[in-house]
């Protein structure tokens, strides 16, 4: 039987259409089902929405559609979700080069991941869990800070998680940034501090910190920050609370909640 050329062309076109992979969606990212099943989105550039918070004026504009946060599929073309649909996705598609807290495995347990960025940008720690940001974290998310502490250079870097009103990305992430030596010196001068509670600093009223007299990992920090947000000091807006970890000039490790308008990066990162 002879098949007509036009039929062959139609069949070929159909095969091409059916074989084309769609962009990876949120469910596939959560389940780490992104290898051979979908394509990671190009880095998105779109969306712009005023998102009021804490009475900040002018009202911050975010590259997102829904100010409630979170990278739903409807936000896949929004710049604020590039960390999820583009950067994290690409990392998961190359698991041998994607540093993480466990095992990148289809339908496996969620992991925290180190996203390595081009020179000049901060490396970031994020997760395969759908987790918009600091307000959604609790004591069960302490692995985020433990993993980040394993990955940062304690002698030259700090860790920082922005509050809701400051963040530009709508999937939880911790910045690994060059540390602020002025803050390290200020912390180094403190002689009396708590090792278990977040206490307001005398020399910076916008920082509430605990200190450890050694260069060791801070444990239980996620729970302390969640408690701080749920029961903030008088006059502190919950969406203004950020979090940070750094070492002072005496190699003592500090974990802090911050309440300033520009977030913890303005406190602990070099700028």
Q: Which domains does the chain have, with CATH numbers?
A: 21-268 (3.30.428)
Between CA 228 and CA 136 the distance in angstroms is 13
pLDDT digits (tens, 9 = 90+) for 168-224: 999 999 999 999 999 999 999 999 999 999 999 999 999 999 999 999 999 999 999
Question: Would the pLDDT of 255 be above 70?
Answer: yes
87 touches 14 (CB < 8 A):
no
Q: What is the mean pLDDT of residues 81-92?
A: 98
Read off the pLDDT of residues 105-146 as tens digits, 9 standing for 90 and up.
999 999 999 999 988 899 999 999 999 999 999 999 999 999
Give the model's pLDDT for residue 120.
Answer: 85
Q: How close are the terminal C-alpha atoms of the chain, in Å? A: 74
pLDDT in the model for residue 13: 40
207 backbone dihedrals φ, ψ, rounded to 5°: -125, 130
The three-point CA angle 246-87-54 to 5° equals: 55
- Are the C-beta atoms of 23 and 40 separated by less than 8 Å? yes
Residue-level pLDDT at 20: 63
> Count of CB atoms within 10 A of residue 234's CB?
4
Q: Over range 152-162, report the average pLDDT.
A: 98
Q: How far apart are the C-alpha atoms of 15 and 182, rounded to whole Å?
A: 62
Mean pLDDT of the chain: 93
Is residue 107 classed exposed, middle or buried when 0-12, 13-18 and 19+ CB atoms within 10 A define those classes? exposed
Task: Give pLDDT tens digits for 220-244.
Answer: 999 999 999 999 999 999 999 999 9
Local structure of 58: helix, strand or coil: coil
**Percent of residues, the chain, with pLDDT higher than 90:** 90
Q: How far is CA 110 from the centre of its chain?
A: 14
Order of strands across the sheet that contains 174-178: 112-115, 123-127, 174-178, 157-161, 242-247, 253-258, 207-212, 199-200
Please tell me the predicted confidence (pLDDT) of residue 119. Answer: 87
Predicted TM-score (pTM) of this structure: 0.92
Q: In 3D, which of 118, 132, 203, 140 has the Cα closest to residue 161?
A: 132
């Amino acid at each position: 039987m002879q098949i007509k050329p036009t039929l062959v062309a139609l069949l070929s076109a159909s095969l091409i259409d059916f074989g084309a992979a769609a962009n990876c969606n949120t469910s596939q990212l959560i389940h780490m089902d992104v290898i051979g099943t979908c394509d990671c989105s190009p880095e998105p550039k779109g969306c712009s929405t005023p998102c009021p918070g804490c009475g900040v004026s002018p009202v911050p504009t975010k590259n997102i559609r829904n100010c409630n946060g979170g990278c739903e599929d409807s936000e896949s073309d929004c710049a604020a979700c590039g960390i999820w649909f583009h950067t994290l996705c690409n990392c998961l598609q190359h698991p041998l080069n994607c540093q993480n807290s466990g095992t990148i495995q289809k339908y496996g347990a969620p992991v925290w991941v180190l996203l390595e960025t081009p020179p000049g940008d901060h490396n970031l720690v994020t997760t395969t869990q759908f987790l918009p940001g600091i307000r959604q974290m609790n004591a069960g998310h302490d692995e985020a800070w433990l993993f980040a502490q394993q990955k940062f250079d304690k002698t030259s870097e700090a860790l920082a998680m922005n509050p809701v009103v400051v963040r530009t990305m709508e999937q939880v992430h911790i910045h690994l940034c060059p540390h602020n030596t002025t803050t390290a010196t200020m912390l180094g001068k403190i002689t009396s501090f708590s090792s278990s509670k977040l206490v307001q600093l005398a020399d910076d009223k916008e920082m509430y910190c605990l200190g450890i007299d050694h260069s060791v990992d801070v444990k239980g920090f996620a729970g302390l920050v969640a408690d701080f947000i749920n029961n903030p000091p008088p006059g502190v807006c919950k969406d203004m609370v950020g979090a940070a970890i750094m070492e002072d000039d005496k190699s003592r490790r500090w974990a802090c909640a911050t309440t300033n308008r520009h977030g913890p990066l303005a406190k602990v990162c070099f700028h």
